[in-house]
Amino acid sequence: MRCPLCDGALTDVLVRDLGGVTADITWQIHAGRCEEHGWFQTEVVSRPPREIFAVTRPFGAARRVVVNGREYFSFPTAWNQLTRDERPQKVNPLEASYWTTKPLA
């Protein structure tokens, strides 16, 4: 995961395994900190994440980020931009290309 604002590498990366919440599917929370923009996190549930959230701290509450006067609480990923037909049936949920976020306008 990279910072959705500057695309910089995140530090202090943490992964929390939430276990098999649904059937035999493992849920994970991934969190990391950008020196300039703070903490971000996302959920991974057998597929790449659909969005990355700005948070107050790892595994904490969502926080507001203001860029050019516009509020953001989450940032859609490349995986979220794909249509159902474009999404492969089998996918590595940790494939970095699916985690990229759309640049802010």
pLDDT digits over 43-98, tens only? Answer: 988 888 899 999 999 989 999 999 989 999 999 999 988 888 888 878 888 899 99
In this predicted structure, the answer to whether residue 21 has a pLDDT above a threshold of 90 is: no
For residue 92, the model assigns a pLDDT of: 87
Q: What is the pLDDT of residue 84?
A: 84
User: So where are the chain's domains?
Assistant: 11-99
Is-contact 48 91, C-beta < 8 A?
yes
Q: What CA–CA distance (Å, rounded) separates 1 from 49?
A: 10
Q: What is the pLDDT of residues 6-18, one digit of tens each?
A: 999 999 999 998 8
Phi, psi of 50 (to 5 degrees): -85, -25
Q: d(Cα 57, Cα 20) in Å, to the nearest integer?
A: 24
Six token digits for residue 68 = 């050019």
Predicted TM-score (pTM) of the model is 0.86
Question: What is the chain written as a DSSP string?
Answer: -B-TTT-PBPEEEEEEEEEEEETTEEEEEEEEEETTTEEEEEEEESS--SEEEEESSTT--B--EEETTEEESEEEBHHHHS-TTTS-SS--TT-HHHH-BPPP-
